C-alpha cells in the first residue's frame, strides 16, 4: 500500500448502456456490504439515465454516491434527447462523467465541448469526472504525454483555480478500455504523475495535490491492488467489472 497522501480513494462504476431498473437494484444490493466496510474510500455508481431514479432510491441509507454518464452544455432548451445538469441534480446525482473516450470517439466530442460540459456540471452543483487518455496509435507513436497535456490544457482552459480543485480526473488509455489490456502500474503512474504536475499550473501546488486522479482501463479484481499502490493513482473508474457485483466488491475492498 502506498503512503498516505491525504486524498480519499474513489471507486466509481460506469455501467455504460447496461442495466434495467430491476438490474440496477440488484447491482446496488450486491455491493452495499463492501461499500459499507470501505470507510476510508468513496464509492459511486453511474447507471444509464433511465435507471437513475431507481438507483437513487436504492442508495438511500448507504454511503454510495450517484453519478450520471453525460450531460448537455445548456441548462434547458430545445435539445431533443439531451439532459441538463439541473435534471441530474434533481434526480439525486452528485457527480457526472464528462468526456469519456467513447463519447469522444463515437459522438465526436472535442476538448472544447468537454470544457463547456465541465462548466455546465459545476453550475449545476455536480462534480465532473473528466476523462482523458490516448489511443493505441498515439501511445505507439510515443505521443501519450503530449496528448494528455493537450486534453488537459484545452479541457480546463479558463477555469478558475477553485473550479479546477473541484474536479476529478480519470486517466483512461483508450487502448485499455474494454479490451482486457491494462496499463502496467508503472505506465499508469507515469501518466498520473504527468497529469498532477500539469494540474499545478491550473490549481497551484496545494490544489494539485488535493485533486483525485482515477485510473480506468480494464480494472479488475486481480490487478486493482497493484494499481492502487501507486502514489498518484487515487482510485478507479471501472467499466465491465462494475457489472459483476463480486468483482466490483473486491475492487472496492482492494488492499
Question: What mean pLDDT is reported for the chain?
Answer: 95
Q: Is the pLDDT of residue 2 over 70?
A: no
Active-site residues, by number, are: 100, 172
CA atoms within 13 A on the CB side of 80: 0
Q: Is the pLDDT of residue 237 over 60?
A: yes
Mean pLDDT to the nearest integer, 200-208: 97
pLDDT at 1: 55
Q: pTM of this prediction? A: 0.96
In the chain, what are the domains? 9-252 (3.20.20.70)
Q: CB of 238 within 8 A of CB of 249?
A: no
pLDDT in tens, 116-145: 999 999 999 999 999 999 998 898 899 999
Amino acid at each position: 500500500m502506498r503512503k498516505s497522501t491525504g486524498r480519499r480513494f474513489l471507486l466509481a462504476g460506469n455501467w455504460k448502456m447496461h442495466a434495467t431498473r430491476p438490474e440496477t437494484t440488484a447491482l446496488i444490493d450486491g455491493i452495499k456490504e463492501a461499500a459499507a466496510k470501505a470507510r476510508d474510500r468513496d464509492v459511486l455508481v453511474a447507471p444509464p439515465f433511465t435507471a437513475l431514479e431507481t438507483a437513487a432510491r436504492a442508495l438511500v441509507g448507504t454511503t454510495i454516491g450517484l453519478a450520471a454518464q453525460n450531460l448537455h452544455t445548456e441548462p434547458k432548451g430545445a435539445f431533443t434527447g439531451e439532459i441538463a445538469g439541473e435534471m441530474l441534480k434533481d434526480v439525486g446525482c452528485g457527480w457526472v462523467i464528462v468526456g469519456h473516450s467513447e463519447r469522444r470517439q463515437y459522438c465526436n466530442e472535442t476538448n472544447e465541448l468537454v470544457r463547456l460540459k465541465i462548466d455546465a456540471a459545476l453550475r449545476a452543483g455536480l462534480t465532473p469526472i473528466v476523462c482523458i487518455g490516448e489511443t493505441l496509435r498515439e501511445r505507439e507513436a510515443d505521443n501519450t504525454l503530449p496528448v494528455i497535456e493537450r486534453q488537459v490544457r484545452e479541457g480546463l482552459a479558463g477555469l478558475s483555480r477553485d473550479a479546477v480543485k473541484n474536479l476529478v480526473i480519470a486517466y483512461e488509455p483508450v487502448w485499455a478500455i474494454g479490451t482486457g489490456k491494462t496499463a502496467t502500474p508503472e505506465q499508469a503512474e507515469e501518466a498520473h504523475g504527468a497529469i498532477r504536475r500539469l494540474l499545478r499550473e491550473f490549481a497551484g501546488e496545494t490544489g494539485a495535490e488535493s485533486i483525485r486522479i482515477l485510473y480506468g482501463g480494464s480494472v479488475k479484481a486481480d490487478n486493482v491492488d497493484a494499481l492502487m499502490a501507486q502514489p498518484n493513482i487515487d482510485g478507479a473508474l471501472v467499466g465491465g467489472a462494475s457489472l459483476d457485483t463480486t468483482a466490483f466488491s473486491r475492487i472496492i475492498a482492494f488492499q
